[in-house]
Structure 1
Amino acid sequence: MSRQAMINLITTIPASNFKTWELAERVLRRCDGTTDWDEVDREGTNQGKEWLWFIRCHRLPKKPLTDSVCFMIYSGRVRGYFHIVSSGRAQEWVDKGYLLEDKPSGYVVVMANWVAIPESEQTEYSGFQGWRYTEKQP
């Protein structure tokens, strides 16, 4: 019986939100899903929540994402990946206090635990909007 390769995703890190790779990487490393960074939200209250990374989408991936990862592109290079921890309606994550959106996107893929790929092993990949399935494996 052969083991089926896990289904992974690939998406881009919005360069408009992170002007340099150093700034993006600093934020990515904080998205570990467990550490309470003791941050104050936009209403000025201390939410005390761990950081997660979200991919917003109009519809969820149809293939199962159990044990999957999502590779992240910044400035034309695959820089690392996150472990996918959940997916579902964006409103659920707004209600939990993780997403601060006035009009939440339909769905989200929720990720944590950033794993950087060493620069010598990073591959080039053209950026695009949204997400795609990929055959890349960690």
Structure 2
Amino acid sequence: MKNLLTTIPQRGDLRHWANVEKILQACDSEEDFWTFGCRYFPKESGPGALCFMVHSGYVRGYFTVLEFTEEDAWRCSEDQQEPELYQGPKVKLAVWRSIPTVPQRGFQGWRYTQLQP
């Protein structure tokens, strides 16, 4: 099973690493998780794999992949009055772990990676 790499977009509440880090540290269980959307699920990965996260030009840490899901999710940011319905395929992640930063240019979508903790 291959590990994944994806980028956290730098917009809204997610613009500054200090804000993002607080959110990620709270993702420590299946009830408090992070998701990212995708057009299709990674075929060579799955639950138990790791997903490394890029922000501001660096890999900052990783999550454990919980599942691939198409369940609807609600998300809200500080500048929104109402939560927004988020539909379609998603990768559900939990248990954030920081690592020493590794330079990596951001990109859209996800990629397979050889990175290890």
Smaller-chain TM-score range? 0.7 to 0.9
State the shift of 1:55 in Å.
1.3
Structure richer in strand, relative to its length:
2
Give TM-score, length-normalised by structure 2. 0.84
Report the CA distance between 1:64 and its aligned residue.
3.3
The offset of 1:137, in angstroms, is 1.1
- For 2:69, the equivalent position in structure 1 comes to 88
Partner of 1:102: 85
Q: 2:107 maps to which residue?
A: 128
Specify the alignment match of 1:22 in structure 2: 18
Query: Identity percentage over the alignment?
Result: 42
Ranges in structure 1 where 5+ consecutive residues have no aligned partner: 1-5, 35-49
Task: Using the TM superposition, give the Cα deviation of residue 51 of structure 1 relative to its aligned residue in structure 2, in angstroms.
Answer: 1.6
Q: CA deviation at 1:54?
A: 0.4
Shift in alpha-carbon separation, 1:66–1:74, aligned structure 2, 3 A? same
- What's the RMSD between the two structures over aligned residues? 1.5
Give the structure-1-normalised TM-score: 0.72
Structure-1 separation of matches of 2:96 and 2:50: 10
Task: Tell me how far 1:66 sits from its aligned partner.
Answer: 3.7
1:4-43 to structure 2, matched below 5 A, reads 6-17=1-12, 18-33=14-29
In our comparison, the structure showing a higher alpha carbon Rg is: 1
Could you tell me which amino acid in structure 2 is paired with residue 107 of structure 1? P
The size of the alignment, in residue pairs, is 107
